[in-house]
Amino acid sequence: MSTETNDLVVTSVHAHTGKGLGTGNPADAFVVEPARTRTRKTPRRTRTNFEMLAWLFMRLSGVVLVVLVLGHLLINLMLDGGVSRVSFAFVAGRWASPFWQVWDLLMLWLAMLHGSNGMRTVINDYAEKDATRLWLKGLLGVATVFTVVLGTLVIFTFDPNI
């Protein structure tokens, strides 16, 4: 969210002090320096943009998942008898079409990554001990990789004449 009160343009070099702003406020000279002053040696990007990319991924995958998941619910849970018609033969009929294979594959990957990243956020919020966080996230990672790989194999190796 933007702040509407500050129209002053301050260069990054002076960002930590109010000197030379010309606001006339004597307190400007005493603005506290930030805890980590950027120097010439400070990398422009601290590590990576991972958290920003994760934030963006949640929004992009979320919008796509609205279509994929609601379509999935409509077909498998509501239309033409709802769950009554779901069976091995029904699945075989749907996966005979590459369109639905791609639909399900995309839904599997996006939903698992979206859900897994959401769970990562929840773990980071509530698990206070370093070791607990590490273990929970490790478990989450293993479960996610296992589920995505299993689901992908199932879609690609499906045999209607098993």
Q: Which is nearer to other proteins, 38 or 90 (CB)?
A: 90
Whole-number minimum distance, CB 147 to other proteins, in Å? 5
Q: Which is nearer to other proteins, 10 or 154 (CB)?
A: 154
Return residues touching other proteins (CB under 8 A): 1, 59, 62-63, 65-66, 69-70, 73, 77-79, 81-84, 86-89, 91, 108, 111-112, 115-116, 118-119, 122, 143, 147, 150-151, 153-154, 157-159, 162
Whole-number minimum distance, CB 47 to other proteins, in Å? 23
CB neighbours of residue 111 within 10 Å: 19
Q: Which is nearer to other proteins, 134 or 154 (CB)?
A: 154
Whole-number minimum distance, CB 131 to other proteins, in Å? 22
Q: Which is nearer to other proteins, 1 or 8 (CB)?
A: 1
CA angle 41, 44, 48 (to 5 degrees): 120
Distance, CA of 91 to CA of 159 (rounded, Å): 11
Distance, CA of 42 to CA of 152 (rounded, Å): 43
- Long-range contacts, stretch 141-146, CB < 8 angstroms, 24+ apart: 141/116, 144/112, 144/113, 144/116
Whole-number minimum distance, CB 37 to other proteins, in Å? 30
User: Which residues, other chains included, contact 117 with Cβ-Cβ below 8 Å and sequence gap of 6+?
Assistant: 54, 57, 58
Whole-number minimum distance, CB 8 to other proteins, in Å? 22
